[in-house]
Structure 1
């Protein structure tokens, strides 16, 4: 721990040195963050206040919206604030906290997406046994496993980050504290540590992506046996899920499943799984879902009507 005390803060180099680009990014990411918060809060309230809460798919979507808010809030507010200042710093403690929370909520999101894929698999491939298999008890167990999986994923990476000695350079070429940029400025040989990071992070993302890919492949193959209307409805839901999976997993696998190093383009790719994918989740899951749109319309019309009646 003596080495850690030599550095009390890190300097984040951010996305760009150009002032005009920083102002543009400030406006863009502020809009994205507000849209993410509003969209996910609308989903949370709409599902909580409607019968959809008792349907497994929407129960998982409720938890996904909650995790999206927490996950993006670990990085985005700091990024937005830093775009307005010349010297972007983060304390050692907050840096380590960012590593922990980002991987915890990111890992939880991965496992919730897996639970949603399992739900769609059962709904389409085992429709007669759907309510028996996807009971509320099993849904709760899957959600509990997702949060537990997020913790199991995050704490080894957090332990690695906390154990790194920092005694010299403290400039991180990123807009948030992540494990690979921290390895780059550590005062020790980090090759073995980098391999462990790939095992804990990259392999988890890859294996989960393969499981999801196979699951949706089986689902799409099974759709041949459905009616035209059933096929259309199932395809609409599945393509929504597949879009989210690709936006989230593609950049994450590229960054974490390779020899431990960093590239300038990593910062751009990281935007996809820290800001862009979570922002699109509410749009993808509502605009392409007639049931969700009708429910939101009904819930908010009733809310506004009741407020108008009281006034």
Structure 2
């Protein structure tokens, strides 16, 4: 080989490999797909080896491409870390912060934390992806994620950022009119329940607990939805009983538009955590976001919960 690949070429190589797409790679690198294709073709010519197999529908790395990316990726990561260290010296955080969270948490962040963060740090921008399924934040290029404590990988740094929460069974007064109120989870078999599916496509089982006794119920009903706000809308319309986070149902419970059911079977759980890779330098934007988060209602709720436990 007469000439070493440039940093731009190696970045293009790693981007196409990660996204398995020239179009998506071009969008991320902010160049045209034809330019990106030309960069990779030039690199392949100089290396004397094909790096990607291309069809009209897919892009996949060859064995040579796999080997090269395996060697190059750690070097690019080290370079990114070095550049981040330089950026850390700047007084004002700037750039893009990529976050992932469930629909419920994403809505809470949009209503509380993110407006304060963007107002305080105008040179920052936020890309928040609401995703029900668990996401590998390193592989998908996120700076941090939000999940329940038991869902956070052990190799991540986790920060408790919310007070206790719980799932509640709720229904409208109109639906409950002339119907006997359920007293146990087994009673739900007599009602239309608004079902949901797990990210894997299975019906979500409603989980209850009382006096140390846990019960998992696969409810029945003619309607299945995959977003909490749609489940709430269906319950408000009198279509049946929904099982939703109390935080999202609270305004409708307070106004009387919904009634809670089986509350004694719905104990609280610890709440949510922000987590991020422990092996990477903490970006200035993420550090600033964590500070805003801790000062928010979510952060104060977590502190109150910890203080309450210490006082027990």
TM, length-normalised to structure 1: 0.24
More helix by share: 1
Identify the structure with bigger relative contact order (alpha carbons < 8 Å, sequence gap 6+).
Answer: 1
TM, length-normalised to structure 2: 0.23
